[in-house]
């Protein structure tokens, strides 16, 4: 038992020092953009802000914007030589996210998601699962 504990602690120490690398999973750009849109979405504005979960961080929170911008940047890097319009919209969304403009970033990301889905022709893509609530919704 003591030996197992030492092995586990040694493994954690090696991970902490960076000697052992854990491979990162390459995510689908469509899934990354969808996750970023969900993060950037504001609380539902259906006449009662107090009905929303007050403990949840919504789209205008600084840490949420940073996380969503990172996801959009990763999606832009992984989109590669795909749809030029989607790449342009993703770049604009990243720029808006870096400037703390979460609503504009969300709208550009929704446009990029539409273009990515049209280019991929996936039946199971999350294109129509994007939340339709918030301050305003892209057409």
Handedness of CA 77, 81, 82, 85 (dihedral sign): positive
Question: What CATH fold (topology level) applies to the domain 24-46+55-129?
Answer: 1.20.120
60 in Cβ contact with 41 (< 8 Å): no
Measured between alpha carbons, how far is 53 from 26 in angstroms, rounded to an integer? 32
What pLDDT score was predicted for residue 93? 95
DSSP calls for 66-97: HHHHHHHHHHHHHHTTS-HHHHHHHHHHHHHH
62 pLDDT band, cuts 50/70/90, is: confident
Is 7 or 109 the better-scoring residue by pLDDT? 109
pTM for the model stands at 0.68
Neighbours of 63 (CB within 10 A): 9
Over residues 5-10, the mean pLDDT reads: 61
């Amino acid at each position: 038992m003591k030996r197992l504990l030492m092995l586990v602690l040694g493994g954690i120490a090696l991970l902490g020092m960076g000697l052992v690398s854990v491979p990162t999973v390459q995510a689908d750009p469509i899934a990354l953009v969808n996750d970023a849109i969900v993060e950037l979405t504001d609380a539902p504005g259906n006449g009662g802000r107090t009905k929303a979960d007050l403990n949840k961080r919504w789209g205008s929170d600084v840490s949420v914007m940073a996380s969503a911008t990172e996801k959009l940047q990763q999606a832009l890097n992984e989109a590669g030589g795909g749809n030029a319009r989607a790449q342009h919209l993703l770049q604009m969304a990243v720029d808006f996210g870096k400037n703390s403009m979460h609503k504009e970033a969300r709208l550009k990301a929704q446009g990029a998601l539409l273009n990515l889905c049209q280019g991929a022709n996936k039946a199971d893509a999350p294109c129509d699962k994007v939340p339709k609530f918030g301050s305003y919704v892209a057409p």
